[in-house]
Structure formats: structure tokens, C-alpha cells
């Protein structure tokens, strides 16, 4: 019983725990499907638990019934059996006592003994089955009474066996005693029966109460299960039905167009997902609607803006011809000429209809009826009126002001006429081919250059046809069309075009440029550059040769030295011999420059005759020459050559009827002993030459380190130079720049001066190279720029300022900032500042230099190429950067009136400058003759002592006054005389 109770209590507790957990799980976690599943499982679990509990209760009641039956009835039966046994014993005892037959007596004794045993067993079973203590006690008392009865019975039997019944009373035993004991036993048995029967009743009572309690518990469990299932149903409804109702309400509101409907926040289940999706859907719909609305609004606004801001006048007439819409522009036109509204008859009185054109039907919608005409307003403006019908039977009229177009057309016509004239008279030949390689345009000059009759060159011809005509004209010797095309294809890329030179049979050189046109064709221009080529090759030659003697100049000499250096170490060295003529100045001064020039040419010839082919003779300038002697095995070789040179050059000359004798001194440096770099070797040879001159002319000296006295001097300058800036020893002088066309002063060149306390005024040639070498040129150049700009800003605004800039300054990354700083600080307009650079600027890094130059030019500065013609391969630099000015070096200017070479160079440079759109300035003008010559050659500007020496800043106002109304040569002569 206790076990069953425990089992039921545990299952009820487990059920409670399980349902509690399930409900918590169902309420808090998982999807709705999970919740429903959990709900069903919970209900099933409750039903199973209730069923199980009922089964256990019924089984328990059955057990009780069985027990009542088994235990109590059996106990009663055995108690009654014990009573029956004792009754039988009493009967057998009475018979035993009455009978005398021994056999019957013995039989009855056995029967009584057997019955006593049976009685004892029945009592034991009755006591066991009843399981109550009082029944056990009653059974024990029955046994005790039965045992006592048996004792009496046995004694009575003995007495009866000894003599009859008379002796029994003597023994104290009577039949009455036996009967009394018999009644006691019967009473005890009766008591036992009653006890067992009472126990049976108690069993029944207990069973009934147990069944009743089970029934109550079942009822309670059922009620609890019903409440629980109702609770779960309520929870499920609350979790699902409520939100579903809300969701459907919101969905209906959204469907009805309420896009501001508030959507409650859902959980993580399907409803939550549904609500979130509805929110997203609502937001998307709202955004799309907003976008649509704003697009429509902006489209409308744009349309009305477009209509209002349109340069076209737009009018919409309805089917009755009434104005449905008109923009401001149209109103303006219609105010001037109301007839413009008569859309179907655009021959408006008061306006002039000039042309009527039907727009190409293919380009129009079949339903639309497009119509265009031109009309002139009363104020003179021209309109183009386009008319198209609307689907509603109305008309859209668009008025476009074509006054400008008309003017442009007229202008275009004029321009075409002018272009034709320009084409006919241009100096270049021109052919234009279309994308199908057919000739479109050709000008007269083209036919002239190739000597082809203009009637033969017809539009529509191919390039091959044109080349055939050129070959037939005898321009190309034996060359065929294929040869000419191959020549072109080698030089010209079909995409980017290109240039090449074509050499004609008669010696002319034609520069042919081909450029692709945007429509897939190409343009060919041809120019006779024979003269220019000659001039250029002459300039290129002059860049590396001395114009007077045609010997290699310093540039070529440096290259040759480099080549010789490369040979050193292969068994032989080489020597550099520097020489200059003794007393050459006297020849110049006494016999004049032409004789001096003749002398220099003769010396050059003699020097060439002294050396072998592998050696190089160069003119360094003035009366200075240099020789590179190759394959030198010892100083004796050099000595031999030096002696030969001294003797050869020293021999008398017959020049223009004058007998001239000049000596020469030679300084020699040997490579590799005295250096392996061109500059060093030249410098050392120069040092040795200096010594040779010092020690008596007409001789030669080998370089020795001790000779380097000039080096010492240079060092002294270097030391002073380092302190000069701090001591404020620099000053700027200005030399006027003279405009030859306007015939008046146009600016000044700033020239640096060093006022040395001991050496006096040191010219820049002597300290600028040193300043460049020691890096002082950077702060010094900055000082020059700042000071010059400060001073120039006070001059009249038309006065330019030219400032020299050295290559080292250009290499400085801060250079552009320095320029900007000087301009900003002074307030000088960039257009007034002109930077003079030499070609050496390009030597270090051409691309960076070009970038810097372009930046400066973009800022408005002008860039002049100084010392043009004396340096390197000038032409490539001219091509790479659009200089504003070319400065013809004073050496050419000086010789231009004397030597043919310089004259040609000057002419070539001026014509080059003109064709490249650059100003040319001649520097070093000292004589009126030179000035007139430069003016006649077409040079734009001039500078030189003839106009003025460089002057301190204080003299600038007087110089401007002097030169602003033209130049008066006598003043210069007086100045020279003084």
C-alpha cells in the first residue's frame, strides 16, 4: 500500500514538473509550430498520466477486495472449522466415556487426538489470516481452553478405565467439569469467530475508504488536467490568435493605403517574422511610393522648369485652336507677332516666311504631322517654327530663335570663303583624305611643291594616284609608288600620324606631316624645308664646332676626351694640350678683326697638319686651342708634338698682304696621371699653359700639381664668397633691354655684382661658377630674385625684368616656391618676370626640368634661352619646350657683321625663332653697325653696351628717360670715349 502511494505521489510530482517546464518552454521559446507541438504533447502527457493513475487506483481497489475476501473470510472459516473440530471432539469424548468396548474406545481416542490436531492447525491459520493481534490472542485462548479440555478428557478416560465412573469424583473430575470446560472452549471459539468476522468488516471498511480516496484523487487530477489544458489553450490563443488578428488588421490597413500603420514588434516566431516582413513590406511600399511621388514631382518641376528656362517658345493649342499652355518665351514671341499662332498657315502677315521644309517622314512618327518653317519677328529676330499635331487634335508649336544660327551660317559662309583663300595662299601644301582614302581637298601649293598640274589632281583620287602623278613629275627618281608608301609607313603611325622628310630628286627636302582626322580620314601637309634643314644642320654643326675655324668646339672636345678616357688602360694614355697664341690681341688691335680671324683660321689649319687623324684639334674660344693627342706612351711623345706645334704655329703667316708672326705657348696634361676627367685634364693643361706663358712664351710645360696657383686663388674666392652674403657685399646692376620694333626700352636684365672689399667689383663670370659648385647659388639666386622683384615693381608697368637662373637653382625642388614667394612678397606681376636659362639647365634631368618650366610658364612667367648657339644640341631643346625668347649669344652678334658663318647663324636663329613664334634678342650689341644689322635681320630686341652698360639701380629712372623715346647713338660713342 505504502509503495503504491509513493508511486502515485512521484508520478503526480513528475507530471507537475513536466507540464510546468513545457508551458514555460511553449511560452518563451520556439516557433508557433513548436508551441502547438508542445501543447499537444503536454495534453497527451496529462491524459497518459490520468489514465495511468486511474489504472493504478482500480488495481489497488481490486487488491483490497481480494485481500478482504482472502484474509477475513478464510480466517472466519478456519475459526468456524476449529469450532466444528471441538464440537466433534466433545461428541467423541462423550461417546468414549460412555462406551466400554476397548476397540471403540481406541477408535474414539484416535479420532479425538486427530481432531485436537486439526483444531490446533485451524486456530493457527485463523490467527495468521486475520493478521490482527486480538484474533491471535483469541486463537491462543481457544487453544489454551482446548488443551485444558483435553487434559480433563484424558483424566476422565483414565478414571473410567480404572473402575468405573464412581472413582471419577474422587479424582476431582466430573462430567460436569468436562462440560464446563467444553462450554469455555466453545465460548472462546465463538469469540475467535467474532474477532475474525470483525477483522473482515474492518478490511471492508478500509477498502471502501481507499476506493473513495482514489475516486476523489482521480476527480481532482481530472479537474487539474482540465484547468491545465484550458490554461494552455488560453496561452496558445493569446500567443497566436491575438497577434494574427493584429497582423491581419495591419495588413488590411496597409492594403487600404495607410502606410503609417504602426506594426507591433513580434517575437522570434513565425508571427514575429510575419510582422517584421510586413514592416519591411510597408517600408518598401512607403519608400517606393515616396520615390514615385518625388520623381513625379521633380519630373513635373523639371518639365515646368525646362519649359520656363527653355530658350524655345512652346505653345500648346487645343483642338479648338485655344491656347492650352504657353511658356514665357512663347508669350514674348507671340506678343511681338500674334500671327505666330496661326499654326496651319505660317505665311504670317507682318512676319516673313522664308523657307518651308517638311521634316523627313522616315524620322517621324506616322501619326505626327511635323512641319517647320522660318519666320522673322518685327524686331528683326529669326524664328524657326515647328508644328506637330497632338493626339487630341491640338497642335504643339515650338519657336526657336535661330538669329545667331543664321548669323553663324552667314559667317560660316564667309569663313569658308576665307578658308578657301587661305588654302590657296598658304605656304604649306595640303591634301585631305576621307576615311575611304579618297582625296577631298587639295591646295594650289601642294601642286606647286610637287610640280603637278592642278587640273590633274582631282577630288576622289587615291593616295596612290597622287603619288603616281608626283613620280610622273620626276620628283622621285627611280622610286615606285610602293617605295614611297613604304617610306611613309616607316615614319608614320596610322593612328597617331607623324612627320618625315622626303628628299626629292632635285635636292629639295619636303617635310611631310600626316595627322588623322576625327572622321577617320587624314590630313597631309607638305612644306619645303630645304633652307630650314640646311640652317638646322648648320646650327647643329655649329653647336659642336667653332664657326670661324670649323674646328670642334669645347663641347665636342669634351666628348672626344671622354672617348679617349674610355680607351685609357688598353695599353696607352693620351694627353691634352692647351695652347694660346702669344700677342694675338695685338694683331687684332693693329690689323683688325678680319686679319685676326684669318690668322685664327690659318693657325687651325697648321694645327691640323701637325696632328694625326686620331688626334683632335679644337678651338676653345678667342685665341685658345686644345689638342687631344691619342696613343701617348710617354712624355717624349707629347714633347715632340708640342715642339712641332710651337714651331709650326710660330712660322710667319701671309695674311691680306701682311706678314704676321705669332708665337704660341702650350700646357700639357697627361691622362691618367694628371686626371681622367675632361674638365680636370683641361684645367690642368690650362694651369700648365699659364705657367708656360708666365715663364716666357713660345714654349711648353707639363702640368705639375704645384702649379695650381690659380686653384689657390679660386679657393680664396670661395672662402670670401661664403661670407659675402652675410656681409651684404652683393648688389644688382641692371642693363636695359631694347625693343627694336617699338624703338624704345622695354625692360632690364638684372646682373649680379660682388663688391669685394679688397678685390673691388668681381664680375659674375668669376664667382658664379664657384657659387654653383659650393651650393651658394641657391640662397644667392633667391636673394637676387627677391631683390630684383622688389626693385622692378617700382618701375613703369611696361618694363620687364630679366633674371639669370643657373642650373643648380633649377635642380632645387623649392625653386617654384622661391619664385612664387618673390612675386608675392614684391607684388610684381608674373608676366613682367622673364627667367634666363642656359641649355645646361637641361643636362641634369630633362623631364623634371621641363615639368618645372611648364609650371612656371603656366604661372605667366616668360622663359628665355640664353647664350643660344654656343652650347649643346640646342634644337632638341627648342622642340621640347616653347621658349618665349631666344637670346643670340654676343659672340655671334659680334661676328655677324664680319664673318659669313656668324651672319648665317644669326639669320638662321632669327628665322627659327620667328617660325617657332619666339622673340629673338641679340646681346652684346656694341656698334651701330651691329645694331643695324640685327634690325635688318628682323631681330626683335637688342641689348649691349651700345645702349648702356649695366648700371646700379639708382640710375634706372634716368636710363628709362634716356631710352624710352628711341635710341641716340652719339650718346653711346661719348660714353665709350669717356
Of positions 527, 686, 782, 836, contacts ligand C2E by CB under 6 A = 836
950 binds ligand C2E (CB under 6 A): yes
Least distance in angstroms from the C-beta of 757 to ligand C2E? 20
Residue 481 in grid coordinates: 609608288
Binder to ligand C2E among 492, 768, 792, 908 (CB under 6 A)? 768
Please identify which residue in 500, 653, 872, 945 interacts with ligand C2E, judged by CB under 6 A: 945
With respect to ligand C2E, which residue has the nearer C-beta, 573 or 924?
924
- β-pair type (663-671, 573-582): antiparallel
**Which residues are bridge partners to 733 per DSSP?**
751, 952
Stretch that binds ligand C2E, among 491-499, 613-621, 869-877, 917-925 (CB under 6 A): 917-925
Scanning 48-56, 116-124, 164-172, 758-766 for contacts with ligand C2E by CB under 6 A, the matching segment is 758-766
Residue 873 in grid coordinates: 644640341
347 in the Ramachandran plot: left (φ > 0), alpha (ψ -120 to 50) or beta? beta
Do 191 and 141 contact (CB within 8 A), yes or no?
yes
CB nearer to ligand C2E: give 923 or 941: 923
Question: 891 by DSSP, 3-state: which?
Answer: helix
Q: How far apart (Å, rounded) are the C-alpha atoms in residues 824 and 465? A: 62
885: left (phi over 0), alpha (psi -120 to 50) or beta: beta
Q: How far is the CB of 623 from ligand C2E (least distance, A)?
A: 16
920 near 886, Cβ under 8 Å? yes
Site string for ligand C2E, 884-913 (x = CB under 6 A): ------x-----------------------
To ligand C2E, the closest distance from the beta carbon of 943 in angstroms equals 6
Q: Which stretch binds ligand C2E (CB under 6 A): 422-430, 481-489, 942-950, 970-978?
A: 942-950
What is the nearest approach in angstroms of ligand C2E to the Cβ of residue 740? 15
Q: Which of 806, 852, 899, 904 binds ligand C2E (CB under 6 A)?
A: 806
Q: Which stretch binds ligand C2E (CB under 6 A): 17-25, 630-638, 739-747, 922-930?
A: 922-930
Cβ atoms of residues 748 and 737 within 8 Å: yes
Angle of the 102-130 helix axis to the 133-162 helix axis, nearest 10: 170
- Given the complex with ligand C2E, which of 544 and 890 has the nearer CB atom? 890
Rounded to a whole number of angstroms, the minimum distance from the CB of residue 939 to ligand C2E is 14
What distance in Å separates the CA atoms of residue 365 and residue 811, rounded to the nearest whole number? 68
Q: How far is the CB of 864 from ligand C2E (least distance, A)?
A: 9
Among 804, 852, 891, 919, binds ligand C2E (CB under 6 A): 804
Beta bridge partners of 632: 573
Q: Which of 197, 920, 944, 963 binds ligand C2E (CB under 6 A)?
A: 944
Instruction: Assign residue 743 a region (left: φ > 0; alpha: ψ between -120 and 50; beta: otherwise).
Output: left
Sort 383 into a burial class: Cβ within 10 Å, 0-12 / 13-18 / 19+: buried
Closest distance of CB 756 from ligand C2E, Å: 14
The residue (of 678 and 950) whose beta carbon lies closer to ligand C2E is: 950
Smallest separation, CB 928 to ligand C2E (Å): 12
71 backbone dihedrals φ, ψ, rounded to 5°: -80, -55
Collect all residues with Cβ–Cβ distance below 8 Å to 356 and sequence separation of at least 6: 346, 371, 372, 373
- List strand residue ranges (DSSP E) for 517-563, in order: 522-528
Strand residues in 504-623 grouped as ranges (E): 509-516, 522-528, 573-582, 616-621
Shortest distance (Å) from residue 580 CB to ligand C2E: 19
Q: What is the DSSP letter of 377?
A: -
d(CA 602, CA 649): 9
Our CB check for ligand C2E shows the closer of 720 and 867 to be 867
Binders of ligand C2E among residues 851 to 870 (CB under 6 A) are 866-867
Q: Which is nearer to ligand C2E, 199 or 867 (CB)?
A: 867
- Chain positions 139 to 168 lying near ligand C2E, rule: CB under 6 A, are none
Peptide bond connecting 672 to the previous residue in cis, omega within 30 degrees of 0: yes
Question: 498's torsion region: left (phi>0), alpha (psi -120 to 50) or beta?
Answer: left
Beta bridge pairs of residue 388 = 396
Which candidate, 584, 595, 588, places its Cα nearest to that of 657? 595
Do the beta carbons of residue 942 and residue 966 sit within 8 Å?
A: no
Which span (145-153, 277-285, 641-649, 941-949) binds ligand C2E, by CB under 6 A?
941-949
State which of positions 590-619 bind ligand C2E (CB under 6 A): none
Gap between the Cα atoms of 101 and 514, Å rounded: 176
User: Nearest distance from residue 669's CB to ligand C2E, in Å?
Assistant: 27
Q: What's the closest the beta carbon of residue 885 comes to ligand C2E, in angstroms? A: 12
Q: From the CB of 410, what's the least distance to ligand C2E, in Å?
A: 53
Select from 263, 599, 641, 784 the one that contacts ligand C2E (CB under 6 A): 784
Nearest distance from C-beta of residue 448 to ligand C2E, angstroms: 43
Range in contact with ligand C2E (rule: CB under 6 A) among 245-253, 318-326, 530-538, 761-769: 761-769
C-alpha cell at 216: 476523489
Q: Taking Cα atoms as reference points, which of 561, 576, 560 lies closest to residue 670? A: 576
- With CB under 6 A, what is the number of residues at the site for ligand C2E? 24
- The closest residue (CB) to ligand C2E is 944
The CB-of-948 to ligand C2E minimum distance in angstroms stands at 9
Rounded to the nearest angstrom, the gap between the alpha carbon of residue 167 and the centroid of all alpha carbons in its chain is 149
State which residue, 592 or 764, has the beta carbon closest to ligand C2E.
764
Whether the CB-CB separation of 580 and 664 falls below 8 Å is answered with yes
| 623/603 Cα distance (integer angstroms) | 9
> Contact region for ligand C2E (CB under 6 A) — 332-340, 350-358, 717-725, 923-931?
923-931
As measured in angstroms, the least distance from the Cβ of 858 to ligand C2E is 23
Alpha-carbon distances, residue 732 vs 447, 749, 802 (angstroms):
58, 10, 12
Span interacting with ligand C2E, options 77-85, 359-367, 689-697, 799-807, rule CB under 6 A: 799-807
**Dist. CA 921–CA 739, nearest whole Å:** 9
- Given the complex with ligand C2E, which of 475 and 943 has the nearer CB atom? 943
How far apart are CB 924 and ligand C2E at their closest, in Å?
4
Q: Which residue lies nearer to ligand C2E by CB, 510 or 918?
A: 918
- How far from 358 is each of 361, 388, 391, CA to CA, in Å? 8, 11, 20
Of 341 and 888, the one with the shorter C-beta distance to ligand C2E is 888
Residue from 582, 674, 739, 923 binding ligand C2E (CB under 6 A): 923
Residue 924 binds ligand C2E (CB under 6 A): yes
Nearest to 513 by CA among 523, 528, 503: 523
Neighbouring residues of 575: CB distance < 8 A, sequence distance ≥ 6: 628, 629, 632, 637, 638, 641, 668, 669, 670, 671
CB 489 within 8 A of CB 504: no
Q: In this chain, which stretch among 446-454, 684-692, 798-806, 844-852 interacts with ligand C2E, using CB under 6 A? A: 798-806
Among 32-40, 111-119, 201-209, 920-928, the segment contacting ligand C2E (CB under 6 A): 920-928
Give, in degrees to the nearest 5, the angle at Cα 814 between 813 and 818. Answer: 145
Q: Is there binding between residue 834 and ligand C2E (CB under 6 A)?
A: no
716-755 positions binding ligand C2E, by CB under 6 A: 735, 751-752
Which residues would be at the binding site for ligand C2E (CB under 6 A)? Answer: 735, 751-752, 763-765, 768, 781, 784, 804-806, 836, 866-867, 890, 923-926, 943-945, 950
Amino acid at each position: 500500500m505504502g509503495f503504491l502511494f509513493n508511486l502515485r505521489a512521484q508520478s503526480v510530482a513528475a507530471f507537475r514538473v513536466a507540464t510546468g517546464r513545457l508551458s514555460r518552454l511553449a511560452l518563451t521559446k520556439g516557433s508557433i509550430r513548436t508551441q502547438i507541438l508542445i501543447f499537444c504533447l503536454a495534453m497527451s502527457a496529462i491524459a497518459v498520466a490520468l489514465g495511468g493513475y486511474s489504472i493504478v487506483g482500480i488495481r489497488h481497489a481490486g487488491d483490497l477486495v481480494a485481500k478482504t475476501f482472502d484474509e477475513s473470510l478464510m480466517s472466519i472459516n478456519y475459526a468456524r472449522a476449529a469450532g466444528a473440530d471441538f464440537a466433534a471432539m466433545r461428541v467423541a469424548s462423550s461417546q468414549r466415556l460412555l462406551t466400554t468396548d476397548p476397540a471403540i474406545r481406541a477408535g474414539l481416542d484416535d479420532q479425538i487426538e486427530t481432531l485436537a490436531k486439526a483444531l490446533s492447525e485451524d486456530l493457527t491459520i485463523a490467527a495468521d489470516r486475520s493478521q490482527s493481534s486480538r484474533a491471535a490472542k483469541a486463537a491462543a485462548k481457544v487453544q489454551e481452553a482446548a488443551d485444558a479440555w483435553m487434559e480433563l478428557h484424558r483424566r476422565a478416560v483414565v478414571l473410567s478405565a480404572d473402575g468405573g465412573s464412581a472413582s471419577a469424583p474422587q479424582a476431582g473430575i466430573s462430567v460436569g467439569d468436562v462440560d464446563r470446560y467444553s462450554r469455555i472452549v466453545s465460548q472462546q471459539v465463538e469469540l475467535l469467530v467474532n474477532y475474525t468476522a470483525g477483522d473482515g468488516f474492518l478490511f471492508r471498511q478500509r477498502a471502501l475508504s481507499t476506493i473513495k480516496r482514489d475516486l476523489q484523487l482521480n476527480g481532482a487530477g481530472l479537474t487539474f488536467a482540465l484547468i491545465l489544458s484550458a490554461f494552455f489553450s488560453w496561452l496558445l490563443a493569446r500567443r497566436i490568435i491575438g497577434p494574427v488578428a493584429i497582423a491581419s488588421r495591419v495588413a488590411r490597413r496597409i492594403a487600404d493605403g495607410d502606410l503609417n500603420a504602426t506594426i507591433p514588434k513580434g517575437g522570434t516566431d513565425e508571427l514575429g517574422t510575419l510582422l517584421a516582413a510586413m514592416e519591411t513590406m510597408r517600408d518598401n511600399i512607403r519608400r517606393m511610393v515616396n520615390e514615385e511621388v518625388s520623381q513625379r514631382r521633380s519630373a513635373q518641376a523639371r518639365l515646368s522648369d525646362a519649359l520656363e528656362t527653355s530658350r524655345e517658345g512652346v505653345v500648346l493649342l487645343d483642338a479648338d485652336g485655344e491656347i492650352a499652355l504657353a511658356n514665357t518665351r512663347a508669350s514674348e514671341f507671340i506678343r511681338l507677332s500674334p500671327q505666330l499662332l496661326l499654326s496651319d498657315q505660317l505665311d504670317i502677315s507682318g512676319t516673313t516666311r522664308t523657307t518651308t521644309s517638311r521634316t523627313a517622314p522616315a524620322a517621324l512618327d506616322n501619326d505626327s504631322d511635323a512641319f517647320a518653317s522660318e519666320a522673322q519677328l518685327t524686331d528683326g529676330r529669326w524664328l524657326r517654327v515647328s508644328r506637330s499635331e497632338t493626339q487630341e487634335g491640338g497642335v504643339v508649336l515650338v519657336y526657336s530663335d535661330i538669329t545667331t544660327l543664321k548669323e553663324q551660317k552667314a559667317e560660316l559662309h564667309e569663313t569658308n570663303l576665307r578658308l578657301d583663300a587661305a588654302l590657296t595662299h598658304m605656304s604649306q601644301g595640303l591634301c585631305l583624305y576621307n576615311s575611304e582614302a579618297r582625296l577631298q581637298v587639295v591646295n594650289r601649293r601642294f601642286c606647286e611643291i610637287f610640280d603637278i598640274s592642278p587640273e590633274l589632281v582631282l577630288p576622289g583620287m587615291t593616295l596612290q594616284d597622287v603619288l603616281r602623278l608626283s613620280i610622273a613629275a620626276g620628283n622621285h627618281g627611280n622610286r615606285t609608288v610602293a617605295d614611297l608608301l613604304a617610306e611613309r609607313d616607316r615614319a608614320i603611325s596610322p593612328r597617331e600620324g607623324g612627320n618625315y622628310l622626303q628628299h626629292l630628286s632635285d635636292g629639295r627636302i619636303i617635310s611631310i606631316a600626316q595627322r588623322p582626322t576625327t572622321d577617320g580620314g587624314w590630313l597631309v601637309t607638305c612644306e619645303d624645308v630645304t633652307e630650314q634643314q640646311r640652317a638646322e644642320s648648320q646650327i647643329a654643326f655649329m653647336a659642336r664646332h667653332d664657326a670661324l675655324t670649323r674646328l670642334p668646339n669645347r663641347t665636342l672636345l669634351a666628348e672626344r676626351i671622354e672617348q679617349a678616357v674610355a680607351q685609357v688602360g688598353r695599353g696607352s694614355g693620351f694627353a691634352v694640350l692647351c695652347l694660346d697664341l702669344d700677342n694675338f690681341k695685338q694683331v687684332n688691335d693693329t690689323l683688325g678683326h678680319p686679319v685676326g680671324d684669318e690668322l685664327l683660321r690659318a693657325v687651325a689649319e697648321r694645327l691640323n697638319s701637325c696632328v694625326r687623324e686620331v688626334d683632335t684639334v679644337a678651338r676653345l674660344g678667342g685665341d685658345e686651342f686644345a689638342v687631344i693627342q691619342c696613343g701617348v706612351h710617354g712624355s717624349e711623345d707629347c714633347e715632340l708634338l708640342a715642339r712641332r706645334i710651337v714651331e709650326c704655329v710660330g712660322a710667319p703667316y701671309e695674311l691680306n698682304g701682311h706678314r704676321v708672326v705669332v708665337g704660341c705657348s702650350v700646357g700639357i696634361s697627361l691622362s691618367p696621371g694628371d686626371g681622367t676627367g675632361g674638365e680636370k685634364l683641361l684645367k690642368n693643361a690650362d694651369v700648365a699653359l699659364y705657367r708656360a706663358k708666365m715663364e716666357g712664351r713660345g714654349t711648353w710645360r707639363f702640368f705639375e700639381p704645384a702649379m695650381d696657383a690659380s686653384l689657390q686663388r679660386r679657393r680664396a674666392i670661395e672662402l670670401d664668397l661664403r661670407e659675402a652674403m652675410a656681409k651684404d657685399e652683393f648688389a644688382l646692376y641692371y642693363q636695359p633691354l631694347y625693343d627694336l620694333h617699338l624703338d624704345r626700352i622695354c625692360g632690364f636684365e638684372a646682373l649680379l655684382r660682388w663688391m669685394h672689399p679688397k678685390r673691388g667689383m668681381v664680375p659674375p663670370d668669376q664667382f658664379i661658377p664657384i657659387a654653383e659648385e659650393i651650393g651658394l647659388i641657391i640662397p644667392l639666386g633667391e636673394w637676387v630674385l627677391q631683390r630684383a622683384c622688389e626693385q622692378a615693381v617700382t618701375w613703369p608697368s611696361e618694363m620687364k625684368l630679366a633674371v639669370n637662373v643657373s642650373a643648380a637653382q633649377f635642380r632645387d625642388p623649392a625653386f617654384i616656391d622661391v619664385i612664387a614667394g618673390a612675386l608675392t612678397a614684391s607684388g610684381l606681376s608674373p608676366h613682367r618676370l622673364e627667367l634666363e636659362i642656359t641649355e645646361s639647365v637641361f643636362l641634369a634631368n630633362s623631364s623634371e626640368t621641363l615639368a618645372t618650366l611648364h609650371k612656371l610658364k603656366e604661372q605667366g612667367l616668360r622663359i628665355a634661352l640664353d647664350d643660344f648657339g654656343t652650347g649643346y644640341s640646342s634644337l632638341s631643346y627648342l622642340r621640347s619646350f616653347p621658349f618665349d625668347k631666344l637670346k643670340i649669344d654676343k659672340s655671334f652678334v659680334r661676328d655677324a657683321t664680319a664673318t659669313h658663318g656668324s651672319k648665317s647663324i644669326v639669320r638662321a636663329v632669327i628665322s627659327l625663332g620667328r617660325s617657332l613664334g619666339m622673340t629673338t634678342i641679340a646681346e652684346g650689341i656694341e656698334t651701330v653697325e651691329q645694331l643695324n644689322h640685327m634690325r635688318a635681320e628682323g631681330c626683335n630686341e637688342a641689348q649691349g653696351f651700345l645702349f648702356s652698360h649695366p648700371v646700379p639701380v639708382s640710375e634706372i629712372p634716368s636710363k628709362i628717360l634716356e631710352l624710352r623715346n628711341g635710341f641716340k647713338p652719339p650718346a653711346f660713342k661719348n660714353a665709350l670715349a669717356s
